[in-house]
Amino acid sequence: MNERDALRRLAADLPRAGDDAAVVDGTVITTDMLHERTDFPPGTTRYTAGWRAVGASLSDVAAMGAEATAAVAVYADETFDPGDLDEFVAGAVDVCAAVDAEYVGGDLDTHTEFTTATTAIGSVVDEADRDDAGAGVGAVTRSGASPGEALCVTGEWGRSAAALRLFERGTESALDRANDLFRFTPRVADGRALAGNATAMMDSSDGLARSLHQLAEASGVGFALESDAVPVHPAVDDVADDEAERFELAAHFGEDFELVCTVPEGKLDRAREACPAGLVRVGTVREADEGVTVDGDPLPDRGYTHG
Amino acid sequence: MNERDALRRLAADLPRAGDDAAVVDGTVITTDMLHERTDFPPGTTRYTAGWRAVGASLSDVAAMGAEATAAVAVYADETFDPGDLDEFVAGAVDVCAAVDAEYVGGDLDTHTEFTTATTAIGSVVDEADRDDAGAGVGAVTRSGASPGEALCVTGEWGRSAAALRLFERGTESALDRANDLFRFTPRVADGRALAGNATAMMDSSDGLARSLHQLAEASGVGFALESDAVPVHPAVDDVADDEAERFELAAHFGEDFELVCTVPEGKLDRAREACPAGLVRVGTVREADEGVTVDGDPLPDRGYTHG
């Protein structure tokens, strides 16, 4: 059984699983494991690893439209080098600070491969706390999209794909830039702004294409994506040979930890104004039987399968 | 740097780390990693593994005197066998149900060794919710013990040590019993009862002896332990050859996930009545310069070092 089928099986058994994070009594909780072989290419600093691992969980909190409260991490390695550990913790502390959350520690474990397990918690804002623009209401799940709404994304895409190419290049300047690209800002502020405006939302850890298929399945809709509209990170231009590769890296590679959401036409302007990372319309929600398309052709449900 | 020194270093840098769990805005959060080589002997069922891994985190919530709310887990293995995964989840669901918490899912990851990372959250009860007996107040840390108070423990000790011997024995009936012993009940109800009565508390994952040294350091006190008073699990009698080995397994082995706490004399009776797992006085809090002793002799700060 592959990881995807296994996840689907889990979601069927556990009523609160299957979204980016679970919501229990207004508290959002989500957990992830990243490890060296599959997630941290040679050249990834421990500072970047701490930032990115904790950031991945904070991104899931963001995808629910929740405030991020705190994060913890397990740091497992063959040995504990004090410098490595300090760097990792500094990265974890800094990514939490970037989204007004607090890194509160965790656990250490001896393992044959550098492995991190991170958990973030957040809180869903009460109806009573909603602001005048309607933001900050409840959790945003994957299942609320309706045909006719705008399909939107935050930020710029292909960042992690470009970083991987730079890690492979291996020069000092390429590694510096790759580490910088790997340290994304979790879209907590944007997720908060989208709560109350977006009807469905998720983060893009598996790539835009796969995310659209997952949103389509959860909401019972289709999507018409316009490839030209997808905001591509400038670093992609330095590593992609042509337009096709550019779209491949931006739409299929994944791990960009941006938000993908659906917004009713009438709320689009205010949602756009409220998102610090930028919110771009990349398509339209369609009926389920129209499927998920890009420029009118079927969009393959294909991404990078992460270990 | 060994794991213990590394943990101490972490606690120095992170103000909310260093106790059994961190407390942020009334929410308690704690995380742990367990893996096959060091934590699940051959013969451990996946049901037991799910129960025990999630239980370890719930035990940390209990040690803060908090209510347990929810738990998540990462399940990582070389392959995903549907039966194994279902069993693991069933164990996780059942241990959560045993303490009125909810298992809400988690993540899957491919790894070279069966590895779990679990996180539990809980909530510290407000002052306003305290009951007439004073239970349910705030979080109980490791640092509040004072000389003259009673040193107490919940439950029976040596359970996991006995289980390990039975796993080694390897017969079907021994394995059944070992699995049963491995599935401890996290002492959440006892921890709740002790909140407001205990001045310091922790769980015993590193064993009684090591726990006492940690409590002594955090509270700036000493302890006089009476070996005869330690409640030993009946399974220990089946695997220990003599009285010395009996005490060794009960006091040094660890992983029993019982609570160790200090209670002022005047609150001892009501604390005892309120603990469903039983609360036994095993010694007295002393001045720091008297050290940690057992029957008048120094108690070595020695336990089983878990990977």
CB contact under 8 A, B17 and A81: no
For residue A260, is pLDDT > 60? yes
The predicted model gives A198-216 an average pLDDT of: 96
Burial B218-251 (b: 16+ CB within 10 A, else e): bbebbbbbebeebbbbebbeebbeeeeebbbbbb
For residue A262, is pLDDT > 80? yes
Judge whether A52 and A184 are in contact, CB under 8 Å: yes
The predicted model gives A242-261 an average pLDDT of: 95
By Cβ distance, the residue of A18, A74, A113 closest to B31 is A74
* pLDDT tens for each residue of A46-88: 999 999 999 999 999 999 999 999 999 999 999 999 899 999 9
Render chain A in DSSP notation, one character per residue: --HHHHHHHHHHH-TT-SSSSEEETTEEEEEEEEEHHHHS-TT--HHHHHHHHHHHHHHHHHHTTPEEEEEEEEEEESS--HHHHHHHHHHHHHHHHHTT-EEEEEEEEE-SS-EEEEEEEEEPPPGGG--TT--S-S---SS---TTSEEEEES-B-HHHHHHHHHHH--HHHHHHHHHHHSPPP-HHHHHHHTTT-SEEEE-TT-HHHHHHHHHHHHTEEEEE-GGGSPBPHHHHHH-SSHHHHHHHHHTS-----EEEEE-GGGHHHHHHH-TT-EEEEEEEEEGGG-EEETTEEPP-------
pLDDT at B6: 79
CA distance A139 to A103: 23
pLDDT at B3: 79
For residue B307, is pLDDT > 50? no
CB contact under 8 A, A18 and B69: no
Return all residues near A221 (Cβ < 8 A) that are at least 6 apart: A145, A146, A147, A215, A285, A286, A287, A288
Q: What is the CA radius of gyration of chain B?
A: 19
Size of chain A, expressed as the number of residues it contains? 307
Going by pLDDT thresholds of 50, 70 and 90, the confidence category of residue B134 is: very low
Best residue in B77, B80, B93, B125 for a mutation probing chain A (most A CBs within 10 Å): B80
The verdict on whether residue A210 carries a ligand-binding annotation is no
pLDDT at A306: 46
Using DSSP's 3-state secondary structure scheme, residue B240 falls into coil
CA distance B148 to B262: 10
Chain B residues with CB under 8 Å of A104 CB are 14, 16-17, 22, 24, 29
Q: How far is A112 from chain B (nearest CA, A)?
A: 9
* pLDDT tens for each residue of B229-257: 999 999 999 999 999 999 999 999 989 99
Using left for φ > 0, alpha for ψ between -120 and 50, and beta otherwise, residue B196 falls in left
Cα A37 to the center of its chain, rounded Å? 20
| A165 located within any domain | yes
| B305 located within any domain | no
Chain A residues with CB under 8 Å of B115 CB are 33, 111, 115
pLDDT at B4: 77
| A103 located within any domain | yes
Using left for φ > 0, alpha for ψ between -120 and 50, and beta otherwise, residue B64 falls in alpha
In whole angstroms, how far apart are CA A84 and each of A58, B30, B272? Answer: 22, 22, 45
CA distance B163 to B41: 10
For residue B305, is pLDDT > 60? no
Angle (nearest 5°) at CA B145 between B142 and B151? 100
pLDDT at A229: 98
Going by pLDDT thresholds of 50, 70 and 90, the confidence category of residue B16 is: confident
CA distance A293 to A222: 8
Best residue in A33, A57, A94, A141 for a mutation probing chain B (most B CBs within 10 Å): A33
Best residue in A31, A77, A306 for a mutation probing chain B (most B CBs within 10 Å): A31
Chain B residues with CB under 8 Å of A94 CB are none
Output A15 or B144, whichever has higher pLDDT.
B144
* pLDDT tens for each residue of B107-133: 999 999 999 999 999 998 655 555 554
CB contact under 8 A, A6 and B108: yes
Burial environment of residue B162 by CB neighbours within 10 A (0 to 12, 13 to 18, 19 or more): buried
CA distance A99 to A77: 27
pLDDT at B13: 75
CA distance A118 to B192: 27
For residue B190, is pLDDT > 70? yes
CA distance A50 to B12: 18
Tokens of B281: 């006085």
pLDDT at B91: 97
The verdict on whether residue A77 carries a ligand-binding annotation is no
Size of interface A-B (CB pairs under 8 A): 176
Tokens of B102: 């909810």
For residue B306, is pLDDT > 50? no
Chain B residues with CB under 8 Å of A121 CB are 24, 27, 29, 121
For residue A155, is pLDDT > 60? yes
| A304 located within any domain | no
CA distance B55 to B213: 24
CA distance B4 to A109: 10
| A270 located within any domain | yes
| B303 located within any domain | no
Output B33 or A137, whichever has higher pLDDT.
B33
Size of chain B, expressed as the number of residues it contains? 307
By Cβ distance, the residue of B7, B13, B70 closest to A24 is B70
Question: What is the residue-averaged pLDDT of chain B?
Answer: 92
CB contact under 8 A, A79 and B1: yes
Chain A residues with CB under 8 Å of B36 CB are none
CA distance A290 to B13: 54
Burial environment of residue A228 by CB neighbours within 10 A (0 to 12, 13 to 18, 19 or more): exposed
The predicted model gives B148-167 an average pLDDT of: 97
DSSP code at position B231: P
CB contact under 8 A, B111 and A107: no
By Cβ distance, the residue of A79, A89, A119 closest to B119 is A119
CA distance A270 to A144: 19
Which residue is closest to A2 within chain B, CA to CA?
A: B80
Tell me which residue range forms the domain holding B35. Answer: 3-298
- What amino acid is encoded at B11 in this protein? A
CATH code, domain carrying A141 = 3.90.650.10
Output A13 or A169, whichever has higher pLDDT.
A169
By Cβ distance, the residue of B80, B89, B112 closest to A112 is B112
For residue A139, is pLDDT > 70? yes
For residue A127, is pLDDT > 60? no
**Is the torsion defined by CA of B55, B60, B64, B67 positive or negative?**
negative
ipTM of the complex: 0.90
Task: Give the closest residue to B17 by CA, choosing from B33, B29, B34, B25.
Answer: B29
Residue found by looking up tokens 């005197």 in the block: B65
Residue found by looking up tokens 């949103």 in the block: A215
pLDDT at A296: 97
The predicted model gives A201-208 an average pLDDT of: 94
By Cβ distance, the residue of A17, A24, A31 closest to B69 is A24
| A306 located within any domain | no
| B96 located within any domain | yes
HEC readout, A106-121: EEEEECCCCEEEEEEE
pLDDT at B275: 97
Total Cβ atoms within 10 A of residue B299 = 23
pLDDT at A169: 96
CA distance A191 to A258: 10
- Domains identified in chain B, total number: 1
By Cβ distance, the residue of B2, B3, B115 closest to A115 is B115
Tokens of B198: 């205990």
For residue A137, is pLDDT > 90? no
CA distance B156 to A102: 37
Share of chain A above pLDDT 90, in %: 83
Using DSSP's 3-state secondary structure scheme, residue B150 falls into strand
Q: How far is B219 from chain A (nearest CA, A)?
A: 21
For residue A307, is pLDDT > 50? no
Judge whether B115 and A115 are in contact, CB under 8 Å: yes
pLDDT at B182: 98
